Amino acid sequence: MSQPFLSADPSPDQMRALVKYLSTYRDGSGNIREDDPDKSTRADSRQIERCFAELFGVKPPESKSYYDFAVEINKGGGVVVSAASVKSKEIEKIRDFRDPKKRKTLRAYLEIANASAKDWKLCREMGLSEDNFRGHKFASEFGDAILQRQSDERASAEGKIQKQRKNAANRIVDANASVFLSVMYSPMDKDHQREYLVSSYPIILPKPGRWEFRSKALVGFDEHDGVIYEWYALSGSQFKYYPLINSRRYGSKLFQLLKPAQESLHQKSVRMFGHV
């Protein structure tokens, strides 16, 4: 079974479905209020996850797990479990995706984690301290630590998925078939519309060419000497990933959402249950 963004680019029908799911949250039910004349809303990160789960026909756990949901896909003549972690972010330059030249240097923005206690527990086990980070010492060792932390979290989540599926057919959770799903969107234009772009990237994070400290962050650079990672270990332990969009596995074109009529809570209750 081919799955959009996991094992293939989305079909037109699949994209129409996703657009409709995301658009439903513009009617006032989205958790983020827009600054437009209609005072419309949009989906927050959790609601975006629900839209993708609906697209794949699964129920999201809605937990703080490394993965947001898992589905079965065909691979190598067999069936494996592919898991996905959904990341969403507003990006100022996302419309540059239309320009082939600008697209070459355009990067996605994925906030991977912010687990300070667990990050520093591993660092201390590796002989690394907060003072080392403040003093900009052992950049490569700190880089190895934060990537190991993500690998450990991913493996733990895959084990939990495997246990949850103990009564289902025996399928392995294949990390090589699992992805980050990046949902990026532009600021509103003069017509109060946003452009959206969905891309998938391998869940196994690549090792950078080098690590170095820059101000409060540990920065990883790729083979193009571009910034691919930032880790703010002493500022909430935010770990960010910036893959080139051209390196994505599968993805959509830029698209806009539909504009449904605004519906108040009272109107919705009447529609669903009739007048009091």
Domain layout of the chain by residue ranges? 12-261
Sign of CA dihedral 238, 223, 87, 112: negative
DSSP-derived letter for residue 185 is E
Predicted confidence (pLDDT) per residue in 202-256, tens digit: 999 999 999 999 999 999 999 999 999 999 999 999 999 999 999 999 999 999 9
* 78-90 and 179-185 beta bridge pairing: parallel
244 or 271, which is more confident: 244
Whole-number pLDDT of residue 168: 60
- Is 220 in contact with 208 (CB distance < 8 Å)? yes
pLDDT over 70 (residue 167): no
Predicted confidence (pLDDT) per residue in 115-130, tens digit: 889 999 999 999 999 9
> Phi/psi of residue 158, each to 5°?
-65, -35
The model's pTM is: 0.92
Residue type, 188: M
Sign of CA dihedral 199, 205, 207, 213: positive
